[in-house]
Amino acid sequence: MKKEIIIIGGGAAGMVAAISAAKNGASVTILEHKEKLGKKILATGNGKCNYTNLHQTMECYRSENISFIEEVFSHFNEKDTIAFFQELGIYPKSKNGYLYPNSEQASSVVDVLMMELKRLQVDIRYNENVKDIKPIDNGYQIDTLVTVTETKKGNENNNKKASNSKNISKNKREKLTTVDTYKNSYQAKKVIVATGGMASSKLGSDGSGYYLLKQLGHTIVPVVPALVQLKAEGDFFEMVAGVRCDARLQIFVDGMAVASEEGELQLTNYGISGIPVFQISRYAAKALLDKKQVQVVIDFLPQVELSELEELLKQRINASLHKTTEEALIGLLNQKLIQMLLSQLDKRYKQPLDISKLAKMMKQFSVTITDTNSFENAQVCAGGIDTAEITATTLESKLHQGLYVVGELLDVDGICGGYNLQWAWSTGYIAGKSATLK
């Protein structure tokens, strides 16, 4: 089947690339290996879709090549994104610069994109798993394996008593079942690869794009989970699992400080989570990949200086001699956290209470990071296709004319706050438009 432009992947970058190309008069086909487009968009912003951010600096993005990001955004930035979506019907709502659709529904973003794809007559082929991209005369051949599915309703509860319930319909759910597979082949003048990375594979990003581009000679900067939870040493985490508190975190790699973040920390039975952890996690993941030592130092009272905290603890304890140390500290920190810190103070120093050491532990509690959670738990990936092999003004491969690479596949990742979606919109729009110009 001969096509003009084929886009592999129907996520954020792929959908915008298709719209951009079709608006410029191209005939566009999307090959999507899931049964729906935009599944990952639906999960963003806790279902509300934080689709960009008014605060845009290069400190919000990470890459081996920051100048590449600057060049891309000089051609399509957050203002262009806002205008693009307003034209489709998305009215922005700002929350401290974080932009959401006014409906606060991620489905609104997917819906307007789908309506525009339909209006522009973009051909969408679902359940197409791309297995190979081959350069041929005047374009590319794309080989796929098509999975044919059907929807079946199943009863999750086989209990006879449940089957007599008036609410039996609540025990049923729809399930996709594979009924057939067959091979397919396409030819296209231009190809835009928008498969996503490896984060949240259930939503579509299975890492296949890395394989396809590596087969075409592209270099891959090692890929690790980013915006992800961190696992840490210590049986004491069981004591504080579920505790949330404001904290400042500083990450050290082989003893050198590399990043710090402040916000709501979540303590788990395996380690640490929460937005500040997500923000520093890519540094931990890359260091661990290189077999380096990683520590995170937690300040549980970032609003108080160490000397002030020492004086505060002295006052509380001296004024509460009829209380235990734990009782004297109630109200200062979460009680489970107090218990954990006192147990670690006793274990680490094995001597009578030393207020200066207790204050230091509250301000400089060090944990050793052993791993990250898996790609399935990560929001994005760090690493990807080396941007030195991609032209920033067009997103075209420098190795293969007519081949474009966009979105999370590239060695660019953003912090939490709509930055990764902004990268997807920008690269998708530029690639779609560029693919129509030659």
pLDDT digits (tens, 9 = 90+) for 69-102: 999 999 999 999 999 999 999 999 999 999 999 9
Convert the pLDDT of each residue in 357-393 to its tens digit. Answer: 999 999 999 999 999 999 999 999 999 999 999 999 9
On whether both 267 and 334 belong to a single domain, the answer is yes
Say yes or no to pLDDT of 171 above 90: no
Per-residue confidence (pLDDT) for residue 157, from 0 to 100: 44
Residue 268 lies in a domain: yes
Mean pLDDT of 43-54: 93
Last residue of a domain, one of 338, 372, 406: 372
Per-residue confidence (pLDDT) for residue 147, from 0 to 100: 84
Model confidence at 164, pLDDT cuts 50, 70, 90, reads very low
Per-residue confidence (pLDDT) for residue 11, from 0 to 100: 96
Residue 169 lies in a domain: no
Residue 173 lies in a domain: no
Q: Worst-scoring range by mean pLDDT, 150-159, 267-276, 409-418?
A: 150-159
Say yes or no to pLDDT of 158 above 80: no
On whether both 95 and 241 belong to a single domain, the answer is no
On whether both 385 and 354 belong to a single domain, the answer is no
- The CATH code of the domain that includes 47 is 3.50.50.60
Mean pLDDT of 192-210: 88
d(CA 187, CA 5): 9
CB of 287 closer than 8 Å to CB of 348:
no
On whether both 8 and 59 belong to a single domain, the answer is yes
On whether both 66 and 202 belong to a single domain, the answer is yes
On whether both 196 and 337 belong to a single domain, the answer is no
Per-residue confidence (pLDDT) for residue 45, from 0 to 100: 83
Q: Is the pTM of this model over 0.75?
A: yes
d(CA 366, CA 384): 31
Residue 123 lies in a domain: yes
Per-residue confidence (pLDDT) for residue 44, from 0 to 100: 87
Residues 6+ apart with CB under 8 A from 122: 18, 19, 22, 28, 29, 30
On whether both 213 and 249 belong to a single domain, the answer is no
Residue 201 lies in a domain: yes
On whether both 344 and 408 belong to a single domain, the answer is no
Q: Which long-range contacts (CB under 8 A, 24 or more apart) does 349-353 make?
A: 353/317, 353/325
Measure the CA dihedral 320/325/328/333, to 10°: 160
Convert the pLDDT of each residue in 51-78 to its tens digit. Answer: 999 999 999 999 999 999 999 999 999 9
Last residue of a domain, one of 335, 351, 372: 372
Number of domains observed in the structure of the chain: 2
- What is the span of the domain harbouring residue 6? 2-152+179-224+381-434
Token code pair at residue 293:
């030592």
On whether both 238 and 360 belong to a single domain, the answer is yes
On whether both 294 and 257 belong to a single domain, the answer is yes
Model confidence at 174, pLDDT cuts 50, 70, 90, reads low
Percent of the chain whose predicted confidence (pLDDT) is above 90: 83
CA–chain centroid gap for 355, Å, is 41
Q: Worst-scoring range by mean pLDDT, 56-60, 165-169, 241-245?
A: 165-169
On whether both 304 and 338 belong to a single domain, the answer is yes
Residue 167 lies in a domain: no
Say yes or no to pLDDT of 288 above 60: yes
CB of 383 closer than 8 Å to CB of 315:
no
Mean pLDDT of 238-253: 97
Residue for token digits 């004319």? 401
Say yes or no to pLDDT of 29 above 70: yes
On whether both 202 and 318 belong to a single domain, the answer is no
Per-residue confidence (pLDDT) for residue 338, from 0 to 100: 96
Query: Mean of the per-residue pLDDT values for the chain?
Result: 92
Residue 327 lies in a domain: yes
Last residue of a domain, one of 352, 372, 392: 372
Per-residue confidence (pLDDT) for residue 156, from 0 to 100: 43
Residue 159 lies in a domain: no
